[in-house]
Structure 1
Amino acid sequence: MKFLIIFSLVITQFLTAPFFVQAKEKNVSMQQIKNEVNFKVLVPKRLPKDLQMNIKPYPPTEYGKPTKFTMTFTKNKQFVFNIQERKSNQKELDKDVYSYGQPVSINGNRGYFLTSGHKDGHLLIWIQNGTVIEMDSTLSKEKMLEIAQSVE
């Protein structure tokens, strides 16, 4: 029971956090993000048809640079998935909560696929080239992995 409560809270955080950011921050270009952050920016190259992408940086730190950002993908103004990226501390995936997920390999990197017990929401998390990538969506595991494999 304790696991289910903790797991639900973690999934809820991942599925809702980017929406709050979108209300506060303006869209920026991919080039602006690449110029601002201190980690490698990675982007999926194979996407479902007719998706629109909006990029939102999180509020800057005291040093004036955003520490993470979110790419939100929509189709006909309906949410499809988010990808959030931030610099890795290389121990990101050692958190106990991820041990409850299904281990996956994404571009040769260890990752985890987690499913919420109550909302059809999924989380896919992995580290690639020093960047933590979190994808949240209601897409199938297979579709999420297909998109994730195209990230470079």
Structure 2
Amino acid sequence: MKLISSLLLILLLVTVSSSIAFAKEIKYNHNSITIAEVKEVVNFKVLVPKKVPEELALEIKTRDNKDGNLSSIRLHYMDENDENLMLGIEEKKVSKRVISQLEEEFSEGEKIKVNVVSAYYQEWANRGKELNGKIITGGLLTWIEDETYVQMDSSSLSKDEMVEIARTFR
């Protein structure tokens, strides 16, 4: 009985420690507003990727509408030197009547399943060319989820990397 209790205790400790290891704290830069603070003041569901490259730091930009309310946010994931934007994500609320118009605009891109919704990917027109010593990759990945318009953009990450990140949004 003592052996079984010891094994159960060890199993519990391993389970708890492994779940703690998977919880990653978001690194913010420039004393940015936090995700929690943004969620308190917007009128749409804020979607956040749970998996981004570990070395990236997040800075959140906000935009007010003419009423002074927060109308959209932009998540900037910067490189480890805080010099290059590696991934940008814009989010804002869209009404149901605007959704069909936007989806029609998206349809020019490649349709990709992101969780339970369809997303549309368009690569940059200058993809493969060099800019500031780096080859341009990536493009735009756009979708609407729970009346939240999401547009990811990157000239550093590949389409596959962007889609992998998009599938971790919660």
Normalised by the size of structure 1, how large is the TM-score? Answer: 0.75
Gaps of 5+ in 1: 1-25
**For the Cα contact (< 8 Å) 1:124–1:134, is it kept in 2?**
yes
Q: Which residue does 1:130 correspond to in 2?
A: 147
The 4+ residue runs of structure 1 with deviation greater than 4 A are none
Q: Judging changes above 3 Å, is the alpha-carbon distance between structure 1 residues 143 and 105 closer, same or farther for their aligned structure 2 residues? A: same
Q: Which residue does 2:162 correspond to in 1?
A: 144
Higher relative contact order (CA 8 A, sep 6+): 1
Q: Judging changes above 3 Å, is the alpha-carbon distance between structure 1 residues 81 and 102 closer, same or farther for their aligned structure 2 residues? A: same
Q: How far, CA to CA, are the matches of 2:106 and 2:124 in structure 1?
A: 12
Match of 2:125 among 101, 111, 117: 117
Q: Which residue does 2:89 correspond to in 1?
A: 83
Normalised by the size of structure 2, how large is the TM-score? Answer: 0.68
RMSD: 1.8
**For the Cα contact (< 8 Å) 1:69–1:84, is it kept in 2?**
yes
Gaps of 5+ in 2: 1-30, 128-135
Amino acid paired to 2:122? L
Helix, strand or coil: the match of 2:40? Answer: helix
Q: How far, CA to CA, are the matches of 2:37 and 2:145 in structure 1?
A: 21
Q: Judging changes above 3 Å, is the alpha-carbon distance between structure 1 residues 113 and 31 closer, same or farther for their aligned structure 2 residues? A: same
Matches within 5 A, 1:40-119: 40-58=45-63, 60-75=64-79, 76-77=81-82, 78-90=84-96, 91-92=98-99, 94-95=101-102, 96-119=104-127
Helix, strand or coil: the match of 1:67? Answer: strand
Q: How many residues align?
A: 126
